[in-house]
Amino acid sequence: MSESTNTTQSTSKAGSSMTKPKPKQKQPEAKSKRPSSKYLWYSGWELSPDSFERFMRTLPRAKQSGASLDDYIMAYDSWRSRAIRGRSAFTPPVLRTRNVIIDDEDSDITAVFFPIRGIEYRSDAQIVDGHPNAARIKTVTEQDIAKLEAFRAYVKECEGEFDASAAYFSFKKCLHPNFDNGWMV
């Protein structure tokens, strides 16, 4: 980054004008938009595939008997997009899947995950009991419960039904949104 010298006019005692340099000032460096880690530990709510399908069948635009789990996941994404485009006061959370084979999204889905908060991934040790980040990642907070309730209320507003008792708190290591084109932010 280049530094520049600004000049101002000053007048000497004799009345002649001369240029006096101002001290050099460093320009603030722009902060990097890329996170230092490619991953985040996300905390959020999970549903079993059956519970997710039951929930999706209650939404007016997603009622499709016999649809596959993938169809319901795409329907959820469309429903979420409509909320964003409609500038809803509440934006449904993004959705991720938990698969039988980790990092293989083509393997069977064991759960549908709604990440609601995250911290930067440093190592797998962060989730080991006793680590300073473990409780922060693994413990449900009042805000987490409030977000689940806000989601339930929004689903009701959309004429759907969401059984919050079917959701269970969980955590997952996921790609940071800046590295994952699949995230809608």
Residue 122, pLDDT score: 93
Q: Is residue 86 part of a domain?
A: yes
Q: Is residue 11 part of a domain?
A: no
Q: Is residue 38 part of a domain?
A: yes
Q: Is residue 24 part of a domain?
A: no
Q: Is residue 4 part of a domain?
A: no
Confidence of residue 94 (pLDDT cuts 50, 70, 90): confident
Q: Is residue 25 part of a domain?
A: no
* Residue pair 40/32 in contact by the 8 Å Cβ criterion: no
* Residue pair 19/7 in contact by the 8 Å Cβ criterion: yes
Q: Is residue 184 part of a domain?
A: no
- The domain total for the chain is 1
pLDDT digits (tens, 9 = 90+) for 10-63: 344 444 444 555 555 555 554 556 668 889 999 999 999 999 999 999 998 776
148 pLDDT higher than 90: yes
Domain that holds residue 62: 34-179
Q: Is residue 49 part of a domain?
A: yes
Residue 66, pLDDT score: 63
Confidence of residue 176 (pLDDT cuts 50, 70, 90): confident
